[in-house]
A and B are shown apart, each in its own frame.
Chain A
Amino acid sequence: MLTFFRIIRTGFLSFWRNRWLSLATVLILIVSLSILTSLVMVSVVTNTVVADIRAKVDVSAYFLPETSEEDILKIKEDLAQYPNIAQVQYISREEALIKFRQLHANNAVILQSLDEIGDNPLEASLNIKASEASAYKAIAGFLESKYSDLLDKVNYRETASLINRLFSITETIKRVGLAASAVLLFIAFLVTFNTVRLAIFSMRDEISVMRLVGASNFFIRGPFLVEGILGGLFASVITFALFFGLTYFLSPSVSNFLSGLDLFKYYYSNALQIFALQLGVGIAVGTFSSTIAIRRYLKI
Chain B
Amino acid sequence: MVRFEHVTKQYGKDVPAVEDITFNVAKGEFVSVVGHSGAGKSTLLKLLIAEDKPSSGSVFLDDIDVNNIDPSELPKLRRKVGAIFQDFRLLPDRNSWENVAFALEVSGVSGKDIKEIVSQVLKLVGLEDKAKKFPRQLSGGEKQRVAIARALVHHPDVIVADEPTGNLDPVTSWDIIRLLARINEIGGTSIILATHDREIVNALERRVITLDHGKLVRDEIKGRYVI
Q: CB within 8 Å of B: which residues of A?
A: 2-3, 6, 10, 14, 17, 205-206, 208-217, 219, 300
Most chain B CB inside 10 Å of its own CB: which residue of A10, A14, A205, A216: A216
| Closest residue on chain A to residue B150 by CB atoms | A213
The segment out of B34-42, B74-82, B202-210 that lies at the interface is: B74-82
A–B complex contacts, Cβ < 8 Å, 15 sampled: A2-B108, A3-B106, A3-B108, A212-B89, A213-B79, A213-B102, A213-B103, A213-B150, A214-B78, A214-B106, A215-B75, A216-B75, A217-B71, A219-B75, A300-B53
Q: Does B130 contact A (CB under 8 A)?
A: no
Known: A209-B91, A214-B106. 8 other contacts (CB 8 A): A17-B93, A212-B78, A212-B83, A214-B79, A216-B72, A216-B75, A217-B71, A219-B75
| Closest residue on chain A to residue B88 by CB atoms | A209
Which residues of chain B from 45 to 86 have any CB-CB distance to chain A below 8 Å in the complex? Answer: 49-51, 53, 71-72, 74-79, 83
Q: Quick check: B110 and A213 within 8 Å, CB to CB?
A: no
Cα A17 to Cα B134 in complex, Å, equals: 13
Q: Quick check: B78 and A300 within 8 Å, CB to CB?
A: no
Q: Which of A206, A214, A217 contacts B107 (CB under 8 A)?
A: A214
Cα A210 to Cα B91 in complex, Å, equals: 9
Total B residues in contact with A, Cβ cutoff 8 Å: 26
Most chain B CB inside 10 Å of its own CB: which residue of A2, A14, A213, A219: A213
Q: Does B213 contact A (CB under 8 A)?
A: no
The distance from the CB of B166 to the nearest CB of chain A, in whole angstroms, is 17
Cα A15 to Cα B150 in complex, Å, equals: 24
Q: Quick check: B91 and A214 within 8 Å, CB to CB?
A: no
Give 9 nearest A-B pairs by CB, closest first. Answer: A215-B106, A214-B79, A213-B103, A214-B78, A214-B75, A216-B75, A17-B93, A3-B108, A219-B106
Return chain A residues, CB-CB under 8 Å to B105: 6, 10
Q: Quick check: A300 and B91 within 8 Å, CB to CB?
A: no
Q: Quick check: A216 and B106 within 8 Å, CB to CB?
A: yes
From DSSP, what is the main secondary structure of chain A's interface residues? Answer: helix
Cα A179 to Cα B75 in complex, Å, equals: 46
The distance from the CB of A211 to the nearest CB of chain B, in whole angstroms, is 7
A205 and B89 contact, Cβ closer than 8 Å, known pairs A212-B49, A212-B83, A214-B154: yes
Most chain A CB inside 10 Å of its own CB: which residue of B53, B74, B83, B154: B74
Return chain A residues, CB-CB under 8 Å to B108: 2-3
Cα A215 to Cα B78 in complex, Å, equals: 9
Q: CB within 8 Å of A: which residues of B?
A: 49-51, 53, 71-72, 74-79, 83, 89-91, 93, 102-103, 105-108, 110, 150, 154
The distance from the CB of A203 to the nearest CB of chain B, in whole angstroms, is 9
Q: Quick check: A206 and B49 within 8 Å, CB to CB?
A: no
| Closest residue on chain A to residue B49 by CB atoms | A212
Return chain A residues, CB-CB under 8 Å to B79: 213-214
A214 and B76 contact, Cβ closer than 8 Å, known pairs A17-B93, A300-B71: yes
Cα A17 to Cα B150 in complex, Å, equals: 22
| Closest residue on chain A to residue B105 by CB atoms | A6
Return chain B residues, CB-CB under 8 Å to A217: 71, 75
The distance from the CB of A15 to the nearest CB of chain B, in whole angstroms, is 12
Q: Quick check: B90 and A209 within 8 Å, CB to CB?
A: yes
| Closest residue on chain A to residue B77 by CB atoms | A214
Cα A210 to Cα B90 in complex, Å, equals: 10
Return chain B residues, CB-CB under 8 Å to A216: 72, 75, 106
Return chain B residues, CB-CB under 8 Å to A209: 89-91
Q: Quick check: B91 and A206 within 8 Å, CB to CB?
A: yes
The distance from the CB of B187 to the nearest CB of chain A, in whole angstroms, is 18
Return chain B residues, CB-CB under 8 Å to A206: 91, 93
A214 and B89 contact, Cβ closer than 8 Å, known pairs A2-B110, A3-B108: no
The distance from the CB of A265 to the nearest CB of chain B, in whole angstroms, is 47
Most chain A CB inside 10 Å of its own CB: which residue of B76, B90, B106, B110: B106
